[in-house]
Chain A
Amino acid sequence: MNFAVLQFPASNCDQDAVHVLRNVLGHSARLLWHKETSLGNADAVIVPGGFSYGDYLRTGAIARFSPVMQAVQAFAAKGGPVLGICNGFQILCEAGLLPGALIRNRSLQFRCEHVFVKAATANSPFTSQIPDGKVLRIPIAHGEGCYFADAETIARLKAQNQILWQYADAQGELTDVANPNGSVENIAGICNESRNVAGLMPHPERASEGLLGSADGRLIFESLIHALESKSVAKAA
């Protein structure tokens, strides 16, 4: 498969995503500069983590106006899969591709640590390969990862099964101490209504090799690859 990994000024997990897709999972992946207006032959888009534009003003606020994001909008509208990780999640929310917003962690501090994450549903191109009940161990690294949306939106997310990942404890319980940032409903990641755009704060690309302590994050990429290969998501080209 061909992955396009977007590169904004001060993206800094872009190379990590390419590394995992290319060297660990054996697919083709290339960096796509934010001034580009076309996604080329991409089968899927990864919006990587980092501090696009220094996170100045608001996380993701400036990046979403990049030329490349217009192409992403069009790609997503045609059903092409888009996955935002950390800053990428923030950018997708700012761009309106995902509902809600990510605000300052409840602790007011940046947090980098492993957390446990549970898939709330297998019904998405990003979670289908995660075994039922499996608790993933994946790191987070963010200062503004507290997911917020108004009550109506949350109700809709729940009703439509759009909550994909939630912070949990080792047993899979959605406890308050397991929640590293104060997100409503322990939300770690969500998808849009058509289920082809998703974002999450944890970094699956940092948990895709045993030598880094966990390979659980691969399940998320493998779900996406599975979906692409079985053509259960549109090939928007």
Chain B
Amino acid sequence: MSDPAITPALIKQHGLTPEEYERIQGILGREPNYTELGIFSVMWSEHCSYKNSRPLLKTFPTKSPKILVGAGEENAGIIDIGDGLAIAFKIESHNHPSAVEPFQGAATGVGGIIRDIFTMGARPVCSIDSLRFGELTSPEVRRLFSGVVAGIAHYGNCFGIPTVAGEVYFDKSYEGNPLVNAFCLGVLRHEQIARGAAKGIGNPVFYVGPATGRDGLAGAAFASQDLTEESAEQQRGAVQVGDPFMEKLVMEACLELLATDAVAGIQDMGAAGLTCSTCETAARAGTGIEIDLAKVPQRAPNMTPYEIMLSESQERMLIIVHKGREAEVKRIFDKWDLPWAEVGTVTDTGRMMVKNRGELVADIPAKKLADEAPIYQREAREPEYLKAVRAFTLAGVADTQDAAGNLKTLLGWPTIASKNWVYRQYDHMVRDGSVVCPGSDAAVIRIKADSLPQDGEGKSATVDKYIAMKVDCNAVYVYLDPYEGAKTVVAEAARNLACSGATPLGSTDNLNYGNPHNPEIFWQLRESVRGLAEACRAFNAPVTGGNVSLYNQNPNGPIDPTPTVAMVGLIDKLEHVTTQWFKDEGDAILLLGDVVDRNDPMLGLGGSAYLQRVHALKTGTPPRCDLDREKELHLALRSLIYSGVVKSAHDCSDGGLAVALAECCISQQIARETPRLLGAEIDLSAFTGVRLDALLFGETQSRVVISVSAVQAAKVLAQAKILGVPAAVLGKTGGTALNIKANEGTLSCDLRELHDLWWNAIARAMA
């Protein structure tokens, strides 16, 4: 079978523009052959090269004294957590593959991000996931949702990594464009950091893991175009199938091998598989690499060089070994019954040379291929729809007549309802470190000796550490105001950490948007990156890496701009770990922050869950987040937590104060079918002159509900005052109902009913 001729049509089919093709000719000094064309097309896809987004990514804060490996340097960033320990973490999307095959698409997304983490030499210890779908009333959406959740569960559970937190949103804009962002965090000692560099001329290059098949051919390129019936059909031909069992073995073997010092460089084969791993490792080391495809284990007969180079078969790694240490690779991979093959060597040519049975099938300067993809400054234009959004006022929206009914509507809305239908399918406790499981604001895990790459047997004992994390993104806010909305995304993640007692260490983001060639979409991207960067700076949570997923649109339109942010923080002492539910009868309930932002003409109702669900309006300027005030709030909250008085802390987010209070009353789950319900008597009559719906359901930023023992209430108010944060006593805990009294009306709900609506909403929608 001979390779097709390079025609303009073929070039276009590979997603390359005529200018890009010229650039390729310039780099090679000749026409590329078919295999080379394929190699350039995947490496220069948005997914691998960030050609449309790189200028924006440069604006993120990426430095802090604690950062050991920064954004863009390697497969994941690494942050110092003290005592010689460090964490590696990153988020990545698998949106398009999940749209084509939800179960395997999501599963391989989890597998891919886990590989990114152990490639750094770290032991993956937990993962989190951020998911978005259309509305559950559609059977097709239910199929995607249940498939994605089952796929994540399948991979994570079998691999043995706890999935400890996440978020799920349901909105029409994701219908046909589901978002699956997976995050993984790993632990290592400073000296255990591994590098993805092909160092040492003459060193042998090993391929380890299962044989290469035709799966996921050119998946990176597929992810870099709109999702159409044709593009999906192409990809269906060879869906990637995940094998978590294999990955667990590959990881254990790699960590065991890394402990021997035999490894000069290591990189996973993720997007763009063998292509990306060879040219990137060579580019990082400033070396060349030569491989022979005939030596690459192959699953399917008669695979062409093009197919082998572009395959995205899962669970494969490329390892560069110090010459003379080959036997160790063989010993360890044989112990784990894993396939391996020596496929090439590191050279001094600076070129990526690919041979197949003696014939040279690709010869490309590695650095130019990996690092010199074209960069585009796309045109940006403020979207038309924002005019109407800004013009919208509350004038035509009548205040609520049925606050209790509204609360029930909101708690039963799948976006706000408990996500237990999801996280009970995930093993969230394996590894014996889940101190705060899903169901509170941020998850908290304990790092202990066996969190390290090697068991720790015989090694010096480590101190236990507590790491908190959460992923957030209210994409409706971002849609309604990309800059301000993006700030609140980061603020919410940071607030969730603060509620758990943690101080941010860093963050990782996943930019999910529509087609960047549309100036309005590029504007959304640009403006929201501006907001993210500013907020990450404010909270001292530099970005250590992330992922860009553009082209999330189908013929029905683009998704809402969705920059998900996963933030990771540290908790010094176990006593500081705080959960969101009320603890004891008779405790005082306080609000830290202003009950309502009176400077906001929308009173916090713009873009709110309340307007969406009760009034079917997805509009209005979303609530602003004043980063300075938000930061003061977090500082104050943490210092109160450190002083030992805070029994529970829960931030106000979707659904506002009433939903937050209800969640404080109903969200503690003791065991299967055994919630612990603790009521509250709330009096808001001190807050006059505010519409009842804004008071109860407005989403004014920078607010946290805490509970303290009654005798401490006055002291806490005084302390808050000193710390410069508004605070008020709202009421006290007790009873079996949530009762709220305000000037404009009252609300009274039985907790059993609220709990049932909230806990079972998704299960009912899926039945």
Do any CB atoms of chain A lie under 8 A from CB atoms of chain B in the complex? yes
Residues of A within 8 A of B450 (CB): 15, 18-19
Complex Cα distance A109/B674, Å?
Answer: 19
The answer to whether B671 and A115 touch across the interface, beta carbons within 8 angstroms, is yes
The answer to whether A54 and B432 touch across the interface, beta carbons within 8 angstroms, is no
Of the candidates B160, B337, B424, B425, the one whose C-beta lies within 8 Å of that of A51 is B160
Interface residue A65 (Cβ < 8 Å from any Cβ of B): no
With A112-B424, A112-B427, A141-B157 as given contacts, are A54 and B455 in contact (CB-CB < 8 Å)? no
B426 to chain A: closest residue by CB: A112
Complex Cα distance A19/B456, Å?
Answer: 11
Interface residue B60 (Cβ < 8 Å from any Cβ of A): no
A18 to chain B: closest residue by CB: B450
Contact with B along A48-65 (1 / 0, CB 8 A): 011101111000000000
The answer to whether A56 and B455 touch across the interface, beta carbons within 8 angstroms, is no
Residues of B within 8 A of A92 (CB): none
Q: Which stretch in B102-110, B241-249, B619-627 binds the other chain?
A: B241-249
The answer to whether A50 and B670 touch across the interface, beta carbons within 8 angstroms, is no
A52 to chain B: closest residue by CB: B245
- B661-676 residues with Cβ-Cβ distance < 8 A to A are 669-674
The answer to whether A178 and B673 touch across the interface, beta carbons within 8 angstroms, is yes
B574 to chain A: closest residue by CB: A211
With A9-B245, A12-B248, A19-B448 as given contacts, are A112 and B428 in contact (CB-CB < 8 Å)? yes
Residues of B within 8 A of A54 (CB): 158, 243-246
With A9-B245, A51-B158 as given contacts, are A114 and B435 in contact (CB-CB < 8 Å)? no
Most chain B C-beta atoms within 10 Å of own C-beta, residue among A12, A53, A116: A12
The answer to whether B435 and A10 touch across the interface, beta carbons within 8 angstroms, is no
Interface residue A222 (Cβ < 8 Å from any Cβ of B): no
With A13-B160, A212-B432 as given contacts, are A137 and B671 in contact (CB-CB < 8 Å)? yes
Interface residue B366 (Cβ < 8 Å from any Cβ of A): no
Interface residue A182 (Cβ < 8 Å from any Cβ of B): no
Q: With both chains docked as a complex, state the minimum distance between the C-beta of A74 and any C-beta of chain B, in angstroms.
A: 24
Complex Cα distance A15/B451, Å?
Answer: 9
Q: With both chains docked as a complex, state the minimum distance between the C-beta of B163 and any C-beta of chain A, in angstroms.
A: 9
Residues of B within 8 A of A110 (CB): 153, 157, 425-427
Q: With both chains docked as a complex, state the minimum distance between the C-beta of A108 and any C-beta of chain B, in angstroms.
A: 10
Number of interface residues of B (CB under 8 A): 41
Residues of B within 8 A of A10 (CB): 158-160, 244-245, 248-249
Residues of B within 8 A of A113 (CB): 424, 669, 671-672
Complex Cα distance A170/B676, Å?
Answer: 12
A170 to chain B: closest residue by CB: B674
- A200-223 residues with Cβ-Cβ distance < 8 A to B are 203, 205-206, 209, 211-213
Q: With both chains docked as a complex, state the minimum distance between the C-beta of B560 and any C-beta of chain A, in angstroms.
A: 30
B577 to chain A: closest residue by CB: A211
A49 to chain B: closest residue by CB: B430
The answer to whether B671 and A170 touch across the interface, beta carbons within 8 angstroms, is yes
Complex Cα distance A15/B162, Å?
Answer: 14
Residues of B within 8 A of A13 (CB): 160, 430
A117 to chain B: closest residue by CB: B671
Complex Cα distance A49/B158, Å?
Answer: 11
Complex Cα distance A53/B671, Å?
Answer: 30
The answer to whether B431 and A15 touch across the interface, beta carbons within 8 angstroms, is yes
Interface residue A16 (Cβ < 8 Å from any Cβ of B): yes
The answer to whether A206 and B432 touch across the interface, beta carbons within 8 angstroms, is yes
Complex Cα distance A194/B432, Å?
Answer: 31
Q: With both chains docked as a complex, state the minimum distance between the C-beta of A25 and any C-beta of chain B, in angstroms.
A: 13
Q: With both chains docked as a complex, state the minimum distance between the C-beta of B426 and any C-beta of chain A, in angstroms.
A: 6
Of the candidates B158, B249, B671, the one whose C-beta lies within 8 Å of that of A116 is B671
Interface residue A125 (Cβ < 8 Å from any Cβ of B): no
Residues of B within 8 A of A109 (CB): 150, 424-425
The answer to whether B435 and A211 touch across the interface, beta carbons within 8 angstroms, is yes
Contact with A along B452-496 (1 / 0, CB 8 A): 000101000000000000000000000000000000000000000
Interface residue B336 (Cβ < 8 Å from any Cβ of A): yes
Residues of B within 8 A of A169 (CB): 673-674
The answer to whether B153 and A9 touch across the interface, beta carbons within 8 angstroms, is no
Residues of B within 8 A of A234 (CB): none
Contact with A along B405-446 (1 / 0, CB 8 A): 000000000000000000111111111111101000000001
Interface residue A184 (Cβ < 8 Å from any Cβ of B): no
Residues of B within 8 A of A205 (CB): 432
Residues of A within 8 A of B434 (CB): 212
Interface residue A199 (Cβ < 8 Å from any Cβ of B): no
Complex Cα distance A211/B246, Å?
Answer: 32
The answer to whether A51 and B245 touch across the interface, beta carbons within 8 angstroms, is yes
Interface residue A81 (Cβ < 8 Å from any Cβ of B): no
The answer to whether B429 and A203 touch across the interface, beta carbons within 8 angstroms, is yes
Interface residue A177 (Cβ < 8 Å from any Cβ of B): yes
Residues of A within 8 A of B437 (CB): 213
Q: With both chains docked as a complex, state the minimum distance between the C-beta of A142 and any C-beta of chain B, in angstroms.
A: 9
Interface residue A101 (Cβ < 8 Å from any Cβ of B): no
The answer to whether A177 and B245 touch across the interface, beta carbons within 8 angstroms, is no
The answer to whether A9 and B432 touch across the interface, beta carbons within 8 angstroms, is no
The answer to whether B670 and A206 touch across the interface, beta carbons within 8 angstroms, is no
- B150-177 residues with Cβ-Cβ distance < 8 A to A are 150, 153, 157-160
With A112-B427, A112-B428, A180-B672 as given contacts, are A15 and B455 in contact (CB-CB < 8 Å)? yes
The answer to whether A9 and B427 touch across the interface, beta carbons within 8 angstroms, is no
Q: With both chains docked as a complex, state the minimum distance between the C-beta of A132 and any C-beta of chain B, in angstroms.
A: 21
A135 to chain B: closest residue by CB: B671
Complex Cα distance A209/B425, Å?
Answer: 23
Complex Cα distance A206/B158, Å?
Answer: 17
Residues of B within 8 A of A203 (CB): 429
Interface residue A31 (Cβ < 8 Å from any Cβ of B): yes
Complex Cα distance A217/B244, Å?
Answer: 29
Interface residue A139 (Cβ < 8 Å from any Cβ of B): yes
A208 to chain B: closest residue by CB: B432
A56 to chain B: closest residue by CB: B245
Q: With both chains docked as a complex, state the minimum distance between the C-beta of A141 and any C-beta of chain B, in angstroms.
A: 4
Contact with B along A6-31 (1 / 0, CB 8 A): 00011011011011100100000011
The answer to whether A9 and B336 touch across the interface, beta carbons within 8 angstroms, is yes
Residues of B within 8 A of A209 (CB): 432
Q: With both chains docked as a complex, state the minimum distance between the C-beta of A177 and any C-beta of chain B, in angstroms.
A: 5
With A10-B245, A137-B670, A137-B671 as given contacts, are A206 and B160 in contact (CB-CB < 8 Å)? no
Contact with B along A174-210 (1 / 0, CB 8 A): 0001101000000000000000000000010110010
Complex Cα distance A176/B159, Å?
Answer: 31
Residues of B at the A interface (CB closer than 8 Å) are: 150, 153, 157-160, 243-246, 248-249, 336-337, 423-435, 437, 446, 448-450, 455, 457, 574, 669-674
Known contacts A12-B160, A112-B428, A209-B432; can you find 12 more A-B pairs with CB under 8 A?
A9-B245, A13-B160, A53-B245, A110-B153, A113-B669, A115-B672, A169-B674, A170-B674, A177-B673, A211-B435, A212-B432, A212-B433
23 pairs, A vs B, C-beta closer than 8 Å:
A9-B245, A9-B336, A10-B160, A10-B245, A12-B430, A15-B450, A51-B244, A53-B245, A54-B244, A56-B245, A109-B424, A111-B425, A112-B428, A114-B671, A116-B674, A139-B429, A141-B157, A141-B427, A141-B429, A169-B673, A169-B674, A180-B672, A206-B429
